[in-house]
Amino acid sequence: MYRQSDRAANLYNEWIPLTPLEDMERTEYDVLIVGSGAGGGAVLSQLCKQWGANGKKIGVVEKGGLLLPTHFYNIPTYTLPRFRSYFDKVSTPVNQTLFRELFALGGRTLAWQLVAPRMPPSETVSWPVPARELSFYYAAAERAIRVTPYYQEGSYYTSILLDRLHSRGFPHAVPMPIAVDREPTKYGQLHSNAAFSSIIQFAEALNRRPYDLAVNARAVEIITDRKRVTGVRVMSPDKKSYILKAKTVVLSASTFENPRLLMASGIPGRAIGHYLTTHSLLGLTGYFDRRQFPEVLGALGILIPGQAGHPYQVMIGGPPEEYNAYQQYLVKPLQNQLRVVAGAFGEVESRFDNRVVLDMAKRDEYGVPDIQVHFSYSEKDQAVIRQMRAGVRQLFTAMQATSVEQVEGPVIEAIHDMGTCRMGYDPSTSVTDPYGQVHGVSGLFVADNSVIPTSGTANPTLTTVALAIRTADYIIQRLR
């Protein structure tokens, strides 16, 4: 017997309208998006913005459920250490690697560190996107996710250390570009969710036009007919199967889930799952005498971008380590010593052998084969790591640190996974064309980190959003 208390419990998390899979199965979608992170949210938002109320049908399916309604920085009870503990519990490790996935509406945008630089031009010159066009879409992405170079504006701490870096050999150091809405109120309107997540994109889309959204909906097969996509088979938690019909399918499920789904569906392509890349990450901690900074500190956030001949970027933050966490900063006592963390992110070579492959002997609860990840650093990558080790110490010398830890932390892989569905012209070395359409399968697109052709040195989220908006514009032109 169905009780009123059961109904109330089911409504506790319904802060966004959801559509039953039974209803979605009765609809033919003009666009069906698989995944709800930065790429999926950007495609959805752009489609709804450009299409308005034109009658076209848009659907979204997400493997995970409703976890958080916003980025964790917008939740007052979370500090960075407290959230890291929570993230370890709710995220999924990838096959004994250091990579992690977060299956939930919003994906890893619920947990990212908000740093949003552009890739250096020296990196993107080899990409299959014209420089002027890429610049246009970077600007569109920066508007979409509210990137600002002024987050630290007025910060005494940032200003002093920037001046020291500029005068001691690091003229390219800049304030950290952060995806934060800096206007809490304007014209009598309250701005919520200062820290960006794709939940904001879902809200903006919802306020423009209706779309269908199903969570806890596991995509298990891409359906095609004569080299044209026709839909996606999804399964509910009770293992019931649904065929969702679509003229266009956009995969935004992740660097690991996209190739898994493509290969499990028998989509051909030599490069599918290959060219997995990320950034090598090296952290170093330095200390400053508090008496060097007699004024109110403010937030510290400095970025030293990568560039030609400098194949790594450095992010400098503190104090505390979570430089933009207001609640924790309020209760920090005055300290005699300031702790500053510099994280160096090194470029990692795109190599065919770094790959994701299916493990046909193991399957998940929905019958989809598991994956095995093969990843290692090349000698070129090791040379970048050695350059990072020396360069970060030079940074602390330039900033006039009073001491620096003698032993760096271990070099690890940043959770900046990219490349397994990389875009390009040649089907033997890429999975999609320059607009994200899978080679040989009309109407099937990829829009997330996995299409980024090479790692560069910049955090990938801004690039993902820029390329996803570009893909959405191409789909709009295609479906006119």
pTM exceeding the 0.85 threshold for the entire prediction:
yes
Closest CA to 193 of 90, 69, 104: 69
- Per-position pLDDT tens, the chain of length 480: 344 454 555 677 779 999 999 999 999 999 999 999 999 999 999 999 999 989 999 999 999 999 999 999 999 888 888 888 999 999 999 988 999 999 999 999 999 999 999 999 999 999 999 999 999 999 999 999 999 999 988 889 999 999 999 999 999 999 999 999 988 788 888 887 899 999 999 999 999 999 999 999 999 999 999 899 999 999 999 999 999 999 999 999 999 999 999 999 999 999 999 999 999 999 999 999 988 888 888 889 999 999 988 999 999 987 544 445 554 454 455 678 888 999 999 999 999 999 999 999 999 999 999 999 999 999 999 999 999 999 999 999 999 999 999 877 789 999 999 999 999 999 999 999 999 999 999 999 999 999 999 999 999 999 999 999 999 999 999 998
pLDDT of residue 149: 92
User: CA-CA distance, 254 to 38, in Å (whole number)?
Assistant: 10
Residue 219's nearest CA partner among 231, 235, 199, 208 is 235
What structural domains does the chain harbor? 13-478 (3.50.50.60)
pLDDT the model gives residue 80 = 81
Instruction: Specify whether the CB–CB gap between 372 and 256 falls below 8 A.
Output: no
| The predicted structure's pLDDT at residue 327 | 46
* pLDDT score recorded for residue 225: 96
d(CA 302, CA 6): 50
Q: Are 277 and 99 in contact (CB under 8 A)?
A: no
